[in-house]
Chains A and B, each alone.
Chain A
């Protein structure tokens, strides 16, 4: 049991787009920060500490937290810490913020994830994440390994390209209900996805996430401060991280063991026996259409090999028993350092019942997921009531 219960009390997001030529980096981040402060009705002076993250090499700015924390957020003469862990940066920030408050060190914190991805070279930046001796010479950014994973998953369980395409159709049409989403495609069809260009077999253009620019900001508070700020917070029930080997290729790649390790621990902490029944909605980190099917298995939403069936049966649709990615997910919006934080923000929005057109009815508990690095996973579970 943590020392303090922690809640999300303020949420801000920019409208995510492929390019924000109209603003520089601090100006873009400020939009999300201002929205979060207004949402919690807090003044900049009320913030105790800031946790900020993005990936250095994508924009080429070292110690970017010093620039962004001061120029885009109320960080002057306050504590600022930067956390960056690749695709999981957003969830790592979210978890770091949790420990800052749960430990009793701070009463509230401002958590910011951002990326202005088209100002640098994302694929090139991702290649440099890999080993310069062994991996880089043949690597093509994140897509190559993701394509290998999709192919191995498909070969193992007979998942079809059509089943994968359904994920894109679901998520991009969900995105049409999310005013912040980058790719909103209300009328997208399976044919449209399956006839798009093959960019890395079996991945077609519309099987993969876009590159987006934008920022997400969350304000957390402990139980006492939360009472003063809002009567509709989203409480943390569990935060878990699981890593595996340095080289993703050290184990079979058709599934995601870290999602299983982390989710099992989180379910135990949050008292969840059957995730599909005990959780009401999930915002998961699916970099490709295929990976959503695979991740739903690893998270225990269905048995191994049944990710395709789970969607075929409509369970993860907005109208289904257990909607996955009502926001449109990563396939619709992917500002890397903010992507996993957006999952947490959207899970909180669902718990608060503030999802408007993308709201799942009667959400009590929601799951958010981060994925990145050498195939590691982070899981956060939020609930309408505090844990104690």
Chain B
């Protein structure tokens, strides 16, 4: 790989994440964030070079889900393309369009309304129609299998898992955009309804509606648009096996390799020392512990002890999910781009009550599929 050019995030906008935004179509959610971003940056649609969106046809109940949002993203007479899946992957496609020197600015938008369809059915269709789908697998049952194998191998406890939920829910109290904003206790998690052993109801995120947008720009344009451009530093993308039975279910190998690649590009030698803040797509409590290990924040099998150490709390050495993470807000397809947006806010020093002091380098992790099948790791820096 040759030397990578410069791309900056110049601004981000989010809707509030909610259980059921019944009064807005998803196109209206998209317009809300794109227009907000225009207003915040003092730009018009003419200042936007092209648009990359992320969505999922199953979630939206529309083939070519991006058709409905053309007016709302401002793509008249312009180029728009759609990454099918998580928004972190759309961010990277947007960045590539600047790095290829094809566009000066790119609007990246992701939306999801989980409220419009059964998420069980949407997730069940991820499994192949030949061997697995009959079994009725979805993200909850797969998570149960993964959590059981991981906890069994490394001796991680249900209490340790519950601490992740308690931390993220507590962080969400400081995030005005978050969906679930109430403090809960370890006992609340442990006593919640068993969903898929060893995981209980509160080990899982809610389903949310929402949208997020950000504007990317090349170096000179970015510096004109904002005093606080956030620079893209590193990227890794790695896909784990498709069949769960082919996976090493106790370690997130795909994420580990994606992170290594991103660290190499960004010059991160020691993630625990170099990363000031992380925003990760944790689909269930135990998942976040496994993510710590894959990102190299702690050793293999030490995820449980690591959460106990408090290092990932707001006042720890590497706060993870100051926004409250997916466990607090879960508009599934937008999760990765929300992680990027939250890191941008942290590095801009604009994260208000959830601000990590002096955050200079941050990591965002977006995921496609079930249990970290598709992994996109992005590193950002506040300094050029």
A and B touch in the complex (CB under 8 A): yes
Q: Which residues of A contact B (CB under 8 A)?
A: 1-4, 24, 49, 53, 55-58, 60-63, 65-67, 69-71, 75-86, 92, 95-96, 98-100, 102-107, 125-126, 128-132, 239-246, 261, 372-374, 376
Question: Is B97 part of the contact surface with A, judged by Cβ < 8 Å?
Answer: yes
User: Nearest Cβ in chain A — how far from B92, in angstroms?
Assistant: 8
Whole-angstrom distance between the Cβ of A66 and the nearest chain B Cβ: 5
**Roughly how many angstroms separate A131 CA and B89 CA in the complex, as a whole number?**
26
Residues of B within 8 A of A374 (CB): 67, 70
List, sorted by A's number, 16 A–B pairs whose CB atoms are closer than 8 Å.
A2-B102, A3-B99, A61-B125, A61-B128, A70-B241, A82-B84, A83-B93, A102-B96, A102-B99, A104-B5, A105-B1, A129-B62, A241-B50, A241-B78, A373-B70, A376-B80
Determine whether the beta carbon of B67 is less than 8 Å from that of A129: yes
Bound together, the chains give a CA A374 to CA B27 distance in angstroms of 15
Is the CB–CB distance between B126 and A63 below 8 Å?
yes
Given contacts A3-B101, A86-B63, A129-B64, contact A243 B241 (CB under 8 A): no
Q: Which residues of A are found within 8 Å of B238, using beta-carbon distances? A: 77-79
Q: Which residue of B lies closest to A243 (CB)?
A: B75
Instruction: Judge whether A129 and B84 touch: CB under 8 Å.
Output: no
* Structural contact, B4 and A105, CB atoms closer than 8 A: yes
Q: Which single residue of chain B is at the shortest CB-CB distance from A91?
A: B81
The interface stretch among B10-18, B343-351, B368-376 is B368-376
A227 CB to nearest B CB, Å: 15
The answer for the CA separation of A156 and B79 in the assembled complex, in Å, is 29
Knowing A107-B1, A246-B68, say if A102 contacts B100 (CB, 8 Å).
Answer: yes
Number of B interface residues at 8 Å Cβ cutoff, please give it. Answer: 64
Interface of chain B, main secondary structure: mixed
Q: Which residues of A contact B373 (CB under 8 A)?
A: 63, 66
Contact with A along B3-42 (1 / 0, CB 8 A): 1110000000000000000000001000000000000000
A372 with B126, Cβ < 8 A, contacts A77-B254, A84-B82 known? no
Cβ of B66 < 8 Å from any Cβ of A?
Answer: yes
Q: Apart from A62-B58, A71-B242, A102-B102, what are 8 other A-B pairs with CB-CB below 8 Å?
A: A62-B125, A66-B369, A66-B373, A70-B241, A99-B102, A241-B80, A241-B81, A243-B75
What CA separation (Å) do A67 and B72 show in the bound complex? Answer: 32
Given known contacts A78-B239, A102-B100, A129-B67, is B128 in contact with A67 (CB within 8 Å)?
yes
B56 within 8 Å of A (CB atoms): yes
Instruction: State whether B85 touches A103 (Cβ < 8 A).
Output: no
A55 lies within 8 A of B85 (CB) = no
- Of B66, B99, B241, which one neighbours A105 at CB under 8 angstroms? B99
B244 CB to closest chain A CB (Å) equals 11
Check A2/B89 contact, CB under 8 A, given A57-B63, A70-B239, A77-B257: no
CB contacts (< 8 Å) of B126 on chain A: these are 61-63, 66
Contacting residues, chain A, for B125 (C-beta < 8 A): 60-62
A-B pairs with lowest CB-CB distance, top 7: A79-B237, A103-B99, A241-B79, A102-B100, A86-B64, A129-B63, A62-B125
Q: Assess whether A81 is in contact with B237, with CB atoms less than 8 Å apart.
A: yes
- A84 with B237: in contact, given A99-B102, A245-B76 (CB under 8 Å)? no
Cβ distance A269 to chain B, nearest Cβ, rounded Å: 9
Contacts of A261 in B (CB 8 A): 77
Find out whether the CB atom of B242 lies under 8 angstroms from the CB atom of A66. Answer: yes
> A77-B254, A99-B97, A104-B2 known; A83 and B81 CB under 8 Å?
yes
Instruction: Write the nearest CB–CB distance from A226 to chain B, whole angstroms.
Output: 14
Partner of B81, one of A57, A95, A107: A95
CA distance A101 to B65 in the complex (A): 27
In the complex, B145 has a CB within 8 A of chain A: no
B204 proximal to A (CB < 8 A): no
- Does B363 have its Cβ within 8 Å of any Cβ on chain A? no
How far is A299 from B3 in the complex, measured between Cα atoms in Å?
A: 37
Is there an interface contact between B374 and A56, defined as CB atoms closer than 8 Å?
no
Contact pick for A242, options B77, B84, B95, B257, CB 8 Å: B77
Residues in B with CB closer than 8 Å to A246 are 27, 67-72
Q: How far is the CA of A125 from the CA of B240 in the complex (A)?
A: 29
Task: Give bound CA distance, A240 to B103, whole Å.
Answer: 11
Residues of A within 8 A of B70 (CB): 243-246, 373-374, 376
State A61–B123 Cα separation when bound (angstroms): 10
Task: Return the chain B residue nearest A119 by Cβ.
Answer: B129
Are B93 and A1 neighbours in the complex by a CB distance under 8 Å?
Answer: no
Provided the pairs A60-B125, A244-B76 are in contact, do residues A92 and B68 lie with their beta carbons within 8 angstroms? no
